[in-house]
Structure 1
Amino acid sequence: MKSSPLNSAEKFDTSRANEYARQSRIALAGYDACQDLAACMLAASLGGAGSAKILVVGAGGTAQEIIAMAALEPTWRFTAVDPCAPMLEAATQQLQANDVLDRTHLHLGYVEDLAADASYDAATLIGVLHHLDGDAAKRQTLRSIRAHLKPGAPLIVAGNHYAYASQPLLLAAWGQRWRQHGASPDEVKAKLGKILQGADPPHSEAAVQQLLFDSGFADATRFFSSLFCGAWLTRKTS
Protein backbone atom coordinates (compact mmCIF):
# COMPACT_ATOMS: atom_id res chain seq x y z
CA MET A 1 0.00 0.00 0.00
CA LYS A 2 1.40 3.38 -0.98
CA SER A 3 1.71 5.93 1.80
CA SER A 4 0.06 9.33 1.61
CA PRO A 5 1.96 12.57 2.22
CA LEU A 6 0.40 12.55 5.69
CA ASN A 7 1.86 9.10 6.43
CA SER A 8 5.24 10.40 5.32
CA ALA A 9 4.98 13.39 7.66
CA GLU A 10 4.12 11.13 10.58
CA LYS A 11 7.60 9.59 10.39
CA PHE A 12 9.00 12.81 11.86
CA ASP A 13 7.79 12.71 15.45
CA THR A 14 9.19 14.80 18.31
CA SER A 15 12.04 12.36 18.96
CA ARG A 16 13.16 12.37 15.33
CA ALA A 17 12.78 16.15 15.08
CA ASN A 18 15.01 16.65 18.12
CA GLU A 19 17.82 14.55 16.62
CA TYR A 20 17.38 15.68 13.03
CA ALA A 21 20.13 18.33 12.96
CA ARG A 22 22.83 15.87 14.01
CA GLN A 23 21.51 12.82 12.16
CA SER A 24 21.02 14.62 8.86
CA ARG A 25 24.59 15.89 8.89
CA ILE A 26 25.87 12.33 9.32
CA ALA A 27 23.51 10.74 6.79
CA LEU A 28 24.38 13.39 4.20
CA ALA A 29 28.09 14.14 4.08
CA GLY A 30 28.30 17.76 2.96
CA TYR A 31 24.86 18.70 4.31
CA ASP A 32 25.80 22.33 4.97
CA ALA A 33 27.71 22.60 1.70
CA CYS A 34 24.61 21.46 -0.18
CA GLN A 35 22.48 24.11 1.54
CA ASP A 36 25.09 26.82 0.93
CA LEU A 37 25.40 25.89 -2.75
CA ALA A 38 21.61 25.86 -3.12
CA ALA A 39 21.55 29.45 -1.87
CA CYS A 40 24.34 30.38 -4.30
CA MET A 41 22.55 28.73 -7.23
CA LEU A 42 19.31 30.58 -6.52
CA ALA A 43 21.10 33.89 -6.06
CA ALA A 44 22.91 33.36 -9.37
CA SER A 45 19.67 32.37 -11.11
CA LEU A 46 17.68 35.32 -9.85
CA GLY A 47 20.50 37.73 -10.66
CA GLY A 48 20.05 40.29 -7.91
CA ALA A 49 16.28 40.18 -7.88
CA GLY A 50 16.04 42.35 -4.78
CA SER A 51 13.20 41.46 -2.42
CA ALA A 52 12.48 37.99 -3.82
CA LYS A 53 9.87 35.72 -2.24
CA ILE A 54 11.08 32.14 -1.79
CA LEU A 55 8.88 29.10 -1.14
CA VAL A 56 10.69 26.53 1.03
CA VAL A 57 8.91 23.17 1.03
CA GLY A 58 9.88 20.71 3.76
CA ALA A 59 11.60 23.42 5.79
CA GLY A 60 11.26 21.62 9.12
CA GLY A 61 14.21 20.54 11.23
CA THR A 62 17.24 22.77 10.69
CA ALA A 63 15.72 25.40 8.33
CA GLN A 64 19.29 25.52 7.05
CA GLU A 65 18.30 26.39 3.48
CA ILE A 66 16.53 29.53 4.76
CA ILE A 67 19.43 30.46 7.03
CA ALA A 68 21.89 30.10 4.14
CA MET A 69 19.75 32.09 1.71
CA ALA A 70 19.01 34.80 4.26
CA ALA A 71 22.72 35.32 5.01
CA LEU A 72 23.47 35.71 1.30
CA GLU A 73 20.42 37.84 0.39
CA PRO A 74 19.27 40.14 3.21
CA THR A 75 16.19 41.38 1.33
CA TRP A 76 14.69 37.98 0.50
CA ARG A 77 11.63 36.77 2.38
CA PHE A 78 10.53 33.17 2.88
CA THR A 79 7.47 30.98 3.26
CA ALA A 80 8.40 27.81 5.16
CA VAL A 81 6.03 24.89 4.60
CA ASP A 82 6.09 21.64 6.57
CA PRO A 83 3.28 19.24 7.55
CA CYS A 84 5.00 18.04 10.74
CA ALA A 85 4.52 20.20 13.84
CA PRO A 86 7.63 19.02 15.75
CA MET A 87 9.82 19.58 12.68
CA LEU A 88 8.39 23.06 12.07
CA GLU A 89 8.92 23.91 15.74
CA ALA A 90 12.57 22.82 15.48
CA ALA A 91 12.92 25.02 12.39
CA THR A 92 11.31 27.94 14.22
CA GLN A 93 13.90 27.73 16.97
CA GLN A 94 16.73 27.75 14.44
CA LEU A 95 15.25 30.69 12.54
CA GLN A 96 14.88 32.65 15.77
CA ALA A 97 18.43 31.85 16.84
CA ASN A 98 19.72 33.12 13.48
CA ASP A 99 17.55 36.27 13.42
CA VAL A 100 15.60 35.17 10.35
CA LEU A 101 12.21 34.48 11.92
CA ASP A 102 10.89 37.98 11.18
CA ARG A 103 11.55 37.38 7.46
CA THR A 104 9.78 34.00 7.41
CA HIS A 105 6.12 33.07 7.21
CA LEU A 106 5.58 29.64 8.79
CA HIS A 107 2.93 27.36 7.33
CA LEU A 108 2.04 24.09 9.08
CA GLY A 109 0.59 21.97 6.31
CA TYR A 110 1.13 21.31 2.60
CA VAL A 111 1.79 23.40 -0.49
CA GLU A 112 -1.75 22.61 -1.60
CA ASP A 113 -3.05 24.52 1.44
CA LEU A 114 -1.47 27.81 0.42
CA ALA A 115 -3.69 30.55 -0.95
CA ALA A 116 -4.35 29.98 -4.64
CA ASP A 117 -2.93 33.39 -5.55
CA ALA A 118 0.29 32.98 -3.55
CA SER A 119 3.14 33.50 -6.02
CA TYR A 120 6.90 33.05 -5.56
CA ASP A 121 10.08 33.98 -7.37
CA ALA A 122 11.78 30.66 -6.56
CA ALA A 123 11.33 27.51 -4.47
CA THR A 124 13.34 24.77 -2.79
CA LEU A 125 12.46 21.12 -2.18
CA ILE A 126 15.35 19.68 -0.20
CA GLY A 127 15.30 16.25 1.43
CA VAL A 128 11.65 15.60 0.62
CA LEU A 129 11.13 13.56 -2.56
CA HIS A 130 12.60 10.32 -1.21
CA HIS A 131 10.14 10.42 1.70
CA LEU A 132 7.14 10.44 -0.67
CA ASP A 133 6.03 6.93 -1.58
CA GLY A 134 5.47 6.46 -5.29
CA ASP A 135 5.86 8.67 -8.33
CA ALA A 136 2.28 9.95 -8.13
CA ALA A 137 2.92 11.55 -4.74
CA LYS A 138 6.20 13.01 -5.98
CA ARG A 139 4.56 14.52 -9.06
CA GLN A 140 1.71 15.90 -6.96
CA THR A 141 4.13 17.80 -4.76
CA LEU A 142 6.17 19.09 -7.70
CA ARG A 143 3.06 20.22 -9.57
CA SER A 144 1.73 21.96 -6.47
CA ILE A 145 4.99 23.88 -6.19
CA ARG A 146 4.88 24.75 -9.90
CA ALA A 147 1.39 26.22 -9.49
CA HIS A 148 2.81 28.83 -7.11
CA LEU A 149 5.89 29.80 -9.13
CA LYS A 150 6.16 32.70 -11.52
CA PRO A 151 6.96 31.85 -15.17
CA GLY A 152 10.55 30.72 -15.55
CA ALA A 153 11.14 30.70 -11.79
CA PRO A 154 13.95 28.43 -10.52
CA LEU A 155 13.41 25.40 -8.32
CA ILE A 156 16.08 23.63 -6.28
CA VAL A 157 15.45 19.90 -5.81
CA ALA A 158 17.77 17.89 -3.58
CA GLY A 159 17.48 14.42 -2.11
CA ASN A 160 18.38 10.78 -2.42
CA HIS A 161 18.13 8.91 -5.69
CA TYR A 162 18.97 5.32 -6.68
CA ALA A 163 17.23 2.24 -5.35
CA TYR A 164 19.43 1.77 -2.29
CA ALA A 165 19.85 -1.99 -2.70
CA SER A 166 21.02 -1.49 -6.29
CA GLN A 167 24.13 0.34 -5.07
CA PRO A 168 25.83 -2.01 -2.57
CA LEU A 169 29.12 -0.09 -2.51
CA LEU A 170 27.41 3.23 -1.79
CA LEU A 171 25.26 1.53 0.83
CA ALA A 172 28.34 0.04 2.50
CA ALA A 173 30.09 3.42 2.43
CA TRP A 174 26.99 5.01 3.98
CA GLY A 175 27.23 2.47 6.80
CA GLN A 176 30.90 3.33 7.25
CA ARG A 177 29.89 6.98 7.48
CA TRP A 178 27.85 6.16 10.58
CA ARG A 179 30.70 4.08 12.00
CA GLN A 180 32.99 7.05 11.41
CA HIS A 181 30.74 9.02 13.75
CA GLY A 182 30.79 6.47 16.56
CA ALA A 183 27.97 4.04 15.68
CA SER A 184 28.46 0.47 16.88
CA PRO A 185 28.20 -2.48 14.43
CA ASP A 186 24.67 -3.19 15.67
CA GLU A 187 23.69 0.46 15.24
CA VAL A 188 25.11 0.49 11.71
CA LYS A 189 23.13 -2.65 10.89
CA ALA A 190 19.96 -1.03 12.23
CA LYS A 191 20.60 2.14 10.19
CA LEU A 192 21.10 0.11 7.01
CA GLY A 193 17.90 -1.83 7.62
CA LYS A 194 15.99 1.39 8.21
CA ILE A 195 17.16 3.11 5.04
CA LEU A 196 16.27 0.04 2.95
CA GLN A 197 12.70 0.04 4.27
CA GLY A 198 11.97 3.63 5.17
CA ALA A 199 12.09 5.64 1.95
CA ASP A 200 11.28 5.53 -1.76
CA PRO A 201 13.85 7.57 -3.71
CA PRO A 202 13.73 7.99 -7.49
CA HIS A 203 15.81 5.16 -8.92
CA SER A 204 18.21 7.23 -11.02
CA GLU A 205 19.14 10.75 -12.00
CA ALA A 206 17.14 10.17 -15.19
CA ALA A 207 14.12 9.31 -13.04
CA VAL A 208 14.50 12.63 -11.21
CA GLN A 209 14.59 14.45 -14.52
CA GLN A 210 11.52 12.56 -15.77
CA LEU A 211 9.58 13.54 -12.66
CA LEU A 212 10.53 17.16 -13.31
CA PHE A 213 9.52 16.94 -16.99
CA ASP A 214 6.20 15.34 -16.07
CA SER A 215 5.55 18.13 -13.56
CA GLY A 216 6.23 21.05 -15.90
CA PHE A 217 9.92 21.79 -15.30
CA ALA A 218 12.85 22.12 -17.70
CA ASP A 219 16.23 20.38 -17.93
CA ALA A 220 17.94 20.31 -14.54
CA THR A 221 21.54 21.28 -13.78
CA ARG A 222 23.21 19.15 -11.15
CA PHE A 223 25.42 21.08 -8.70
CA PHE A 224 25.98 18.69 -5.76
CA SER A 225 26.51 14.98 -5.18
CA SER A 226 27.21 12.90 -2.07
CA LEU A 227 26.74 9.10 -2.10
CA PHE A 228 22.99 8.66 -2.72
CA CYS A 229 22.17 12.36 -2.66
CA GLY A 230 22.04 14.80 -5.53
CA ALA A 231 20.94 18.41 -5.92
CA TRP A 232 19.68 20.09 -9.08
CA LEU A 233 18.40 23.45 -10.28
CA THR A 234 15.56 23.50 -12.78
CA ARG A 235 13.03 26.08 -13.94
CA LYS A 236 9.30 26.25 -14.42
CA THR A 237 8.43 25.96 -18.09
CA SER A 238 6.04 28.49 -19.56
Structure 2
Amino acid sequence: MTSSSHAKFDPSRAREYTEQARIGLAGYDACHELSACILSAALAGARERRILVVGAGGTAGEITATARLEPNWTFVAVDPSEPMLALAQAAVEEAGIGERVTFVRDAVSALPAEPAFDAALMIGVLHHIPGDADKARLLEDIAGRLLPGGSLVLAGNYRAYDSEPLLQAAWANRWRLHGASEGEVEAKLARIKAGAVPPASEEAVADLLAASGFTAPERFFSSLFWGAWHTRRAT
Protein backbone atom coordinates (compact mmCIF):
# COMPACT_ATOMS: atom_id res chain seq x y z
CA MET A 1 0.00 0.00 0.00
CA THR A 2 0.99 3.62 -0.39
CA SER A 3 1.27 5.87 2.64
CA SER A 4 -2.03 7.58 1.78
CA SER A 5 -3.91 4.30 1.45
CA HIS A 6 -2.65 2.61 4.59
CA ALA A 7 -3.25 5.73 6.71
CA LYS A 8 -6.99 5.00 6.49
CA PHE A 9 -6.48 1.95 8.70
CA ASP A 10 -5.91 3.79 11.98
CA PRO A 11 -6.48 2.12 15.39
CA SER A 12 -10.23 2.88 15.46
CA ARG A 13 -10.83 1.42 12.01
CA ALA A 14 -8.59 -1.55 12.76
CA ARG A 15 -10.74 -2.43 15.78
CA GLU A 16 -13.91 -2.64 13.70
CA TYR A 17 -12.30 -4.35 10.72
CA THR A 18 -12.88 -7.96 11.72
CA GLU A 19 -16.65 -7.57 12.03
CA GLN A 20 -17.19 -5.10 9.20
CA ALA A 21 -15.11 -7.05 6.67
CA ARG A 22 -17.38 -10.07 7.04
CA ILE A 23 -20.47 -7.93 6.54
CA GLY A 24 -19.07 -5.98 3.62
CA LEU A 25 -17.91 -9.13 1.82
CA ALA A 26 -20.48 -11.90 1.73
CA GLY A 27 -18.35 -15.02 1.70
CA TYR A 28 -15.34 -13.47 3.43
CA ASP A 29 -14.16 -16.68 5.05
CA ALA A 30 -14.97 -18.76 1.97
CA CYS A 31 -12.81 -16.48 -0.17
CA HIS A 32 -9.85 -16.84 2.19
CA GLU A 33 -10.27 -20.60 2.42
CA LEU A 34 -10.64 -20.98 -1.35
CA SER A 35 -7.54 -18.82 -1.83
CA ALA A 36 -5.63 -21.29 0.32
CA CYS A 37 -7.05 -24.23 -1.61
CA ILE A 38 -6.20 -22.69 -4.98
CA LEU A 39 -2.66 -21.86 -3.91
CA SER A 40 -2.08 -25.33 -2.52
CA ALA A 41 -3.33 -26.88 -5.76
CA ALA A 42 -1.22 -24.54 -7.90
CA LEU A 43 1.96 -25.25 -5.95
CA ALA A 44 1.51 -28.99 -5.50
CA GLY A 45 4.64 -31.11 -5.70
CA ALA A 46 6.94 -29.73 -2.99
CA ARG A 47 6.54 -29.80 0.76
CA GLU A 48 8.23 -26.51 1.63
CA ARG A 49 7.14 -23.21 0.11
CA ARG A 50 7.79 -19.57 1.00
CA ILE A 51 4.76 -17.30 0.61
CA LEU A 52 4.58 -13.50 0.43
CA VAL A 53 1.40 -12.05 1.94
CA VAL A 54 0.77 -8.46 0.82
CA GLY A 55 -1.45 -6.22 2.92
CA ALA A 56 -1.56 -8.94 5.55
CA GLY A 57 -3.04 -6.80 8.32
CA GLY A 58 -6.45 -7.70 9.72
CA THR A 59 -7.85 -11.15 10.35
CA ALA A 60 -4.88 -13.01 8.75
CA GLY A 61 -7.50 -15.39 7.35
CA GLU A 62 -5.46 -16.15 4.26
CA ILE A 63 -2.42 -17.04 6.38
CA THR A 64 -4.20 -19.21 8.93
CA ALA A 65 -6.19 -21.09 6.28
CA THR A 66 -3.14 -21.74 4.12
CA ALA A 67 -1.05 -22.73 7.12
CA ARG A 68 -3.66 -25.33 8.17
CA LEU A 69 -3.64 -26.83 4.70
CA GLU A 70 0.14 -26.71 4.23
CA PRO A 71 1.95 -27.30 7.54
CA ASN A 72 5.44 -26.94 6.02
CA TRP A 73 4.97 -23.57 4.34
CA THR A 74 6.33 -20.32 5.80
CA PHE A 75 5.08 -16.77 5.29
CA VAL A 76 6.40 -13.22 5.09
CA ALA A 77 3.49 -10.90 5.92
CA VAL A 78 3.91 -7.30 4.78
CA ASP A 79 1.70 -4.35 5.74
CA PRO A 80 2.58 -0.67 6.36
CA SER A 81 -0.27 -0.19 8.88
CA GLU A 82 0.86 -0.90 12.43
CA PRO A 83 -2.67 -1.29 13.92
CA MET A 84 -3.75 -3.68 11.14
CA LEU A 85 -0.55 -5.68 11.37
CA ALA A 86 -1.05 -6.01 15.13
CA LEU A 87 -4.44 -7.62 14.46
CA ALA A 88 -2.85 -10.12 12.10
CA GLN A 89 -0.08 -10.94 14.57
CA ALA A 90 -2.64 -11.62 17.29
CA ALA A 91 -4.62 -13.92 14.97
CA VAL A 92 -1.49 -15.81 13.95
CA GLU A 93 -0.40 -16.28 17.56
CA GLU A 94 -3.88 -17.47 18.52
CA ALA A 95 -3.71 -20.03 15.69
CA GLY A 96 -0.40 -21.31 17.05
CA ILE A 97 1.61 -20.63 13.88
CA GLY A 98 3.63 -17.61 14.99
CA GLU A 99 6.97 -19.32 14.37
CA ARG A 100 6.09 -19.76 10.70
CA VAL A 101 5.24 -16.12 9.97
CA THR A 102 7.64 -13.17 9.68
CA PHE A 103 5.93 -9.77 9.90
CA VAL A 104 7.30 -6.71 8.09
CA ARG A 105 5.72 -3.29 8.75
CA ASP A 106 6.55 -1.73 5.41
CA ALA A 107 5.74 -1.80 1.72
CA VAL A 108 6.60 -4.64 -0.65
CA SER A 109 9.14 -2.33 -2.29
CA ALA A 110 11.16 -2.38 0.95
CA LEU A 111 11.83 -6.11 0.60
CA PRO A 112 15.01 -7.27 -1.15
CA ALA A 113 14.48 -6.99 -4.91
CA GLU A 114 15.05 -10.64 -5.69
CA PRO A 115 12.83 -13.61 -6.61
CA ALA A 116 12.65 -15.18 -3.15
CA PHE A 117 9.04 -16.41 -2.99
CA ASP A 118 7.18 -19.33 -4.49
CA ALA A 119 3.85 -17.49 -4.40
CA ALA A 120 2.03 -14.42 -3.12
CA LEU A 121 -1.38 -13.67 -1.66
CA MET A 122 -2.92 -10.19 -1.93
CA ILE A 123 -6.49 -10.01 -0.68
CA GLY A 124 -8.48 -6.79 -0.29
CA VAL A 125 -5.62 -4.46 -1.16
CA LEU A 126 -5.63 -3.42 -4.82
CA HIS A 127 -8.83 -1.34 -4.65
CA HIS A 128 -7.27 0.76 -1.87
CA ILE A 129 -4.40 1.82 -4.14
CA PRO A 130 -5.43 5.18 -5.64
CA GLY A 131 -4.52 5.00 -9.35
CA ASP A 132 -3.66 2.56 -12.10
CA ALA A 133 0.01 3.59 -12.11
CA ASP A 134 0.35 2.85 -8.39
CA LYS A 135 -1.63 -0.38 -8.76
CA ALA A 136 0.70 -1.52 -11.54
CA ARG A 137 3.75 -0.52 -9.52
CA LEU A 138 2.63 -2.67 -6.60
CA LEU A 139 1.96 -5.63 -8.88
CA GLU A 140 5.39 -5.16 -10.47
CA ASP A 141 6.96 -5.13 -7.00
CA ILE A 142 5.27 -8.45 -6.28
CA ALA A 143 6.21 -9.99 -9.64
CA GLY A 144 9.85 -9.09 -9.12
CA ARG A 145 9.92 -11.02 -5.86
CA LEU A 146 8.32 -14.19 -7.22
CA LEU A 147 10.18 -17.05 -8.77
CA PRO A 148 9.44 -17.46 -12.50
CA GLY A 149 6.09 -19.23 -12.78
CA GLY A 150 5.27 -18.36 -9.18
CA SER A 151 1.59 -18.00 -8.29
CA LEU A 152 -0.31 -14.91 -7.24
CA VAL A 153 -3.76 -15.10 -5.67
CA LEU A 154 -5.32 -11.67 -6.05
CA ALA A 155 -8.69 -10.67 -4.58
CA GLY A 156 -10.56 -7.41 -4.22
CA ASN A 157 -13.29 -5.17 -5.52
CA TYR A 158 -13.49 -4.37 -9.21
CA ARG A 159 -15.91 -2.21 -11.24
CA ALA A 160 -16.88 1.34 -10.32
CA TYR A 161 -19.42 1.17 -7.51
CA ASP A 162 -21.90 3.55 -9.11
CA SER A 163 -21.79 1.58 -12.36
CA GLU A 164 -23.81 -1.26 -10.80
CA PRO A 165 -26.81 0.18 -8.91
CA LEU A 166 -28.41 -3.23 -8.25
CA LEU A 167 -25.21 -4.61 -6.71
CA GLN A 168 -24.77 -1.43 -4.69
CA ALA A 169 -28.33 -1.69 -3.36
CA ALA A 170 -27.76 -5.33 -2.43
CA TRP A 171 -24.53 -4.33 -0.72
CA ALA A 172 -26.43 -1.78 1.38
CA ASN A 173 -28.87 -4.52 2.35
CA ARG A 174 -26.00 -6.54 3.80
CA TRP A 175 -25.60 -3.91 6.54
CA ARG A 176 -29.35 -3.62 7.02
CA LEU A 177 -29.47 -7.38 7.62
CA HIS A 178 -26.89 -6.89 10.35
CA GLY A 179 -28.78 -4.12 12.12
CA ALA A 180 -27.37 -0.92 10.62
CA SER A 181 -29.65 2.11 10.53
CA GLU A 182 -30.30 4.00 7.28
CA GLY A 183 -27.88 6.69 8.35
CA GLU A 184 -25.21 4.12 9.13
CA VAL A 185 -25.73 2.39 5.78
CA GLU A 186 -25.33 5.68 3.91
CA ALA A 187 -22.21 6.54 5.91
CA LYS A 188 -20.61 3.15 5.27
CA LEU A 189 -21.22 3.30 1.52
CA ALA A 190 -19.96 6.88 1.37
CA ARG A 191 -16.78 5.98 3.21
CA ILE A 192 -16.15 3.00 0.94
CA LYS A 193 -16.69 5.02 -2.22
CA ALA A 194 -14.52 7.89 -0.99
CA GLY A 195 -11.66 5.67 0.11
CA ALA A 196 -11.30 3.03 -2.61
CA VAL A 197 -10.73 3.08 -6.36
CA PRO A 198 -11.36 -0.39 -7.82
CA PRO A 199 -10.16 -1.37 -11.28
CA ALA A 200 -12.87 -0.45 -13.78
CA SER A 201 -13.62 -4.02 -14.89
CA GLU A 202 -12.37 -7.58 -14.88
CA GLU A 203 -10.64 -6.75 -18.16
CA ALA A 204 -8.86 -3.89 -16.40
CA VAL A 205 -7.62 -6.33 -13.75
CA ALA A 206 -6.26 -8.59 -16.50
CA ASP A 207 -4.60 -5.62 -18.23
CA LEU A 208 -2.91 -4.50 -15.02
CA LEU A 209 -1.61 -8.01 -14.42
CA ALA A 210 -0.36 -8.40 -17.98
CA ALA A 211 1.45 -5.06 -17.86
CA SER A 212 3.08 -6.08 -14.57
CA GLY A 213 4.48 -9.40 -15.78
CA PHE A 214 1.68 -11.87 -14.99
CA THR A 215 -0.26 -14.34 -17.09
CA ALA A 216 -3.99 -14.12 -17.85
CA PRO A 217 -5.90 -14.51 -14.56
CA GLU A 218 -8.46 -17.21 -13.81
CA ARG A 219 -11.33 -16.13 -11.55
CA PHE A 220 -12.37 -18.63 -8.87
CA PHE A 221 -14.60 -16.55 -6.57
CA SER A 222 -17.10 -13.71 -6.94
CA SER A 223 -19.37 -11.78 -4.56
CA LEU A 224 -21.12 -8.58 -5.69
CA PHE A 225 -18.24 -6.21 -6.59
CA TRP A 226 -15.59 -8.63 -5.33
CA GLY A 227 -13.55 -11.07 -7.38
CA ALA A 228 -10.64 -13.44 -6.72
CA TRP A 229 -8.20 -14.68 -9.33
CA HIS A 230 -5.18 -16.93 -9.73
CA THR A 231 -2.34 -15.90 -12.03
CA ARG A 232 1.38 -16.63 -12.40
CA ARG A 233 4.49 -14.62 -12.95
CA ALA A 234 5.29 -14.96 -16.63
CA THR A 235 8.46 -16.94 -17.26
Same fold flag (TM > 0.5): yes
TM, length-normalised to structure 1 = 0.97
Aligned mate of 1:184, from 181, 186, 195: 181
User: Does structure 1 conserve the Cα–Cα contact (< 8 Å) formed by 2:114 and 2:144?
Assistant: no
Give the structure 2 partner of residue 229 of structure 1. Answer: 226
Give the structure 2 partner of residue 117 of structure 1. Answer: 114
Q: CA–CA distance in 1 between the matches of 2:46 and 2:28?
A: 26
Q: CA deviation at 1:116?
A: 2.6
Give the structure 1 partner of residue 148 of structure 2. Answer: 151
Give the structure 1 partner of residue 57 of structure 2. Answer: 60
Query: SS at 2:9's partner residue?
Result: coil
Query: SS at 2:147's partner residue?
Result: coil
Q: CA–CA distance in 2 between the matches of 1:82 and 1:119?
A: 18
Aligned mate of 1:76, from 58, 63, 73: 73
The answer as to 2:16 corresponding to 1:35 is: no
Query: SS at 2:230's partner residue?
Result: strand
Query: SS at 1:150's partner residue?
Result: strand
Q: CA–CA distance in 1 between the matches of 2:226 and 2:7?
A: 22
Deviations 1:17-72 (A, max 9, x none): 11111110000000000000000000000013211000000000111100000000
Q: CA–CA distance in 2 between the matches of 1:116 and 1:237?
A: 17
Q: CA–CA distance in 2 between the matches of 1:116 and 1:196?
A: 34
Give the structure 1 partner of residue 205 of structure 2. Answer: 208
Deviations 1:76-100 (A, max 9, x none): 0000000000000111000000011
Residues matched between the structures, number: 235
Structure 1 alignment gaps of length 5 or more: none
Give RMSD over aligned pairs.
0.9
Query: SS at 1:99's partner residue?
Result: coil
User: Does structure 1 conserve the Cα–Cα contact (< 8 Å) formed by 2:115 and 2:144?
Assistant: no
TM, length-normalised to structure 2 = 0.98
Query: SS at 1:153's partner residue?
Result: strand
Q: CA deviation at 1:118?
A: 5.7
Q: CA–CA distance in 2 between the matches of 1:138 and 1:116?
A: 18
Q: CA–CA distance in 2 between the matches of 1:24 and 1:48?
A: 33
Q: CA–CA distance in 2 between the matches of 1:123 and 1:203?
A: 23
Q: CA deviation at 1:192?
A: 1.7
Q: CA deviation at 1:196?
A: 2.0
User: Does structure 1 conserve the Cα–Cα contact (< 8 Å) formed by 2:57 and 2:87?
Assistant: yes
Give the structure 2 partner of residue 175 of structure 1. Answer: 172
Structure 1 residue runs of 4 or more that deviate by more than 3 Å after TM superposition: none
Give the structure 2 partner of residue 195 of structure 1. Answer: 192
Query: SS at 2:47's partner residue?
Result: coil
Q: CA deviation at 1:133?
A: 0.3
Aligned mate of 1:47, from 44, 68, 73: 44
Superposed counterparts of 1:95-114, under 5 Å: 95-114=92-111
Q: CA deviation at 1:198?
A: 1.4
Letter in 2 for 1:164: Y
Deviations 1:101-157 (A, max 9, x none): 110000000111012336000001110000000001100100000010001011000
